[in-house]
Chain A
């Protein structure tokens, strides 16, 4: 079974500082990887996804993530954060070949709350 671990439950950072949100996954098969963002009292919005190809993936709002197969990691980075980046971030994984009760299933990590201070 797949699992996702987000290594930090909360990350405080000052505005314009760089940030990295860490995500590790466990899976013995090929995977799709995702980062979603949830702003307060809103639904989830896809930031970026890795399906195949280049291991460096660029997403919206200046975020990027790097897929590292040997370390089974998919860390999210932004070189300079803004107050508006304050939100909860979720890493997720899916198995593109899954069937049955796992079909289309996204397995989420526990979430990381990013708080950007002025």
Chain B
């Protein structure tokens, strides 16, 4: 199993540009989530999904959109990037009802100029 994969590893954007961060898992996990990591703040939940077609907001959802058309993929969209979105983004997944065992991807480092 590849586990949780994320692309790209690094990205530089200009303010106002849009992009999609990709996340995929091959473990047939129902639950997937996106976190952002900022220095001194730990990781904060952006959005999550409990299955295909079902998504919900976390604690910092503003400026981000998600969709879940398949079990495997959970892309995160920035419609109009802002410097405040400079961060490291992690995707995680787990079996539904077993959120105590979440697997994290390697992260995407995003710089917004």
Contacts and interface: CB of A to CB of B under 8 A. Distances in A.
Given A43-B104, A51-B100, A9 B40 contact: yes
B102 interface: yes
B2 to A, nearest CB: 13
A39 to B, nearest CB: 11
Main secondary structure of the interface of B (DSSP, over half): strand
Given A43-B104, A43-B107, A46-B101, A106 B40 contact: no
B75 interface: no
B104 A44 contact: yes
B81 interface: no
Contacts of A4: 42
Nearest to B48: A104
A36 B37 CA distance: 13
B48 A90 contact: no
A interface bracket (residues with beta carbon within 8 Å of B):
20 to 34
Contacts of A44: 43, 90, 92, 104
Contacts of B44: 108
B45 A105 contact: yes
Interface in A42-90: 42-46, 49, 51, 90
Contact of A96 (B57, B100, B101): B100
A47 B92 CA distance: 16
A4 B100 CA distance: 16
Interface string A87-111: 0001010101000110111101111
A104 B59 contact: no
A108 B45 CA distance: 10
A43 B42 CA distance: 13
A106 B45 contact: yes
Given A101-B58, A104-B99, A43 B106 contact: yes
A44 B4 CA distance: 11
A104 B107 CA distance: 19
